[in-house]
């Protein structure tokens, strides 16, 4: 009896050592670090820089909120002040040579047209984003509709 | 009172009996150096960011806003702190500004902006004061560091090239466009929020 117990325990101990003692790969659990050992140094992500000011970027979808073709670091949009509108408002866009904010941004939820930008469209970066020079994660051959590209 | 003044004046007029001319000159010279140095040191101590933010009105409002901006932290680490933008560098204008700063001491004593609500209520007026002064001096303090003639347009972004050339040719000065570069713009409820860049915002007196 003792012998069997001891053998069983030894087997268990050996199995545990084998599974956990090797110290590296645990096949079915992966952390955010990927398949990397806990004791190896991970490569930090490369810091991407915002794209420089450029011409407007062609849309991919007709209803797409256009991308922001310039960096917007430090631009604040809060209750008191909207930095984007200092160039893109109807009052300022000509002087700033910028795209004016679309008329659709003046409509409230019921479709009534307001005298100034609607509160639901006031926070620009909820839809409009600047770009970074990052390559697509998945290669693809997506083409916008002919109405956009003209081809 | 008159008697006292007369006595002092009589004492000053009398030639020195005990001390030599040289000794008096040297003592006067050293005292002058100490006084002048002390005066300038005091002026320079009050010309530092640490001194400015020793008032909580500044530290809790404009300093916090400034910390988010490019003048606080940027790629090269070249910074502008409070005096670089708000106090002229040349002696005459600096001393004039220091004398005007007694107004700020008065308002500190009166507690005119010692709560966030009071500060926000006065922010537009304070901002317009600064804008007006900068406009009158052709953004002298900006030009302490930024020299228009040395701007390399090859390195600037598309919008910057466009706006700088148009602006300077149009006779504008830095502050005409670069409002809100260091501190939050005031809430202009009664004016279109986009008026920050328009000429309306800093019309005199309003």
pLDDT of residue B198: 42
Residue A39 and residue A101 in contact, taking contact as beta carbons nearer than 8 Å: no
pLDDT of residue A44: 78
Output Rg (C-alpha) for chain A, integer angstroms.
28
How far apart CA B70 and CA B61 sit, in angstroms, is 17
Could you give the domains of chain A?
A: 49-134+145-151 (1.10.1130.10)
pLDDT of residue A87: 87
Q: Is the pLDDT of residue B195 over 50?
A: no
- Picking from A50, A57, A94, A96 by the largest number of B CB atoms within 10 A of its own CB, the best residue to mutate is A96
* pTM exceeds 0.80 for this model: no
Q: Mind listing the pLDDT tens digit for each residue in B142-157?
A: 999 999 899 999 988 8
Residue B49 and residue B82 in contact, taking contact as beta carbons nearer than 8 Å: yes
Strand partners, A68: A130
pLDDT of residue B196: 43
pLDDT of residue A76: 86
Q: Which residues of A touch B180 (CB under 8 A)?
A: 81, 83
CB pairs under 8 A between A and B: 54
Could you give the domains of chain B?
A: 23-186 (1.10.3820.10)
ipTM: 0.70
How far apart CA B159 and CA A69 sit, in angstroms, is 11
pLDDT of residue A3: 81
DSSP for A81-147 reads -BSTHHHHSTTTHHHHT-PPPPGGGGB-TTSPBPSS--GGG--GGGT--B-B----SS-------HH
Residue A142 and residue A60 in contact, taking contact as beta carbons nearer than 8 Å: yes
Chain A 8-47, CB below 8 Å of chain B: which residues? none
- What rounded mean pLDDT belongs to chain A? 83
Least confident of B26-30, B45-49, B50-54, B187-191: B187-191
The proportion of chain B whose per-residue pLDDT surpasses 70, expressed as a percent, equals 91
The residue in chain A having the minimum alpha-carbon distance to the alpha carbon of residue B123 is A80
The mean pLDDT of B10-33, rounded to a whole number, is 93
């Amino acid at each position: 009896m003792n012998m069997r117990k001891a053998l069983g325990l030894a087997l268990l101990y050996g199995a545990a050592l084998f599974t956990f003692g090797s110290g590296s790969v645990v096949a079915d659990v992966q952390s955010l670090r990927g398949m990397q050992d806990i004791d190896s140094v991970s490569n930090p992500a490369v810091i991407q820089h915002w794209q420089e000011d450029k011409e407007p970027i062609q849309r991919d979808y007709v209803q797409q909120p256009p991308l922001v073709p310039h960096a917007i670091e430090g631009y604040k949009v809060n209750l008191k002040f909207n930095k984007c509108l200092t160039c893109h408002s109807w009052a300022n866009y000509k002087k700033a040579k910028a795209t004016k904010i679309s008329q659709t941004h003046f409509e409230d939820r019921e479709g009534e047209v307001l005298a100034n930008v609607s509160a639901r469209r006031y926070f620009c970066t909820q839809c409009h984003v600047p770009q970074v020079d990052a390559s697509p994660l998945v290669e693809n051959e997506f083409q916008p509709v002919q109405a956009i590209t003209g081809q | 009172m008159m008697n006292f003044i007369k006595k002092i004046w009589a004492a000053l007029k009398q030639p020195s009996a005990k001390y030599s001319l040289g000794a008096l000159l040297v003592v006067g010279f050293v005292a002058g150096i100490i006084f002048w140095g002390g005066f300038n040191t005091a002026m320079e101590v009050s010309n530092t960011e640490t001194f400015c933010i020793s008032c909580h009105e500044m530290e809790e409002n404009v300093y916090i806003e400034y910390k988010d901006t490019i003048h606080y932290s940027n790629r090269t680490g070249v910074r502008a702190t409070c005096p670089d933008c708000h106090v002229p560098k040349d002696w005459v204008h600096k001393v004039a500004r220091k004398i005007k700063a007694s107004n700020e001491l008065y308002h500190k004593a009166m507690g005119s902006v010692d709560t966030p609500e009071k500060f926000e209520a006065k922010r537009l007026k304070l901002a317009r004061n600064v804008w007006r002064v900068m406009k009158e001096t052709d953004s002298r303090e900006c030009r302490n560091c930024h020299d228009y003639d040395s701007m390399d347009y090859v390195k600037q972004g598309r919008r910057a090239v466009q706006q700088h050339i148009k602006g300077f040719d149009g006779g504008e000065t830095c502050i005409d466009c670069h409002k809100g570069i260091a501190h939050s713009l005031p809430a202009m409820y009664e004016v279109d929020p986009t008026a920050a860049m328009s000429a309306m915002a800093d019309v005199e007196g309003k």
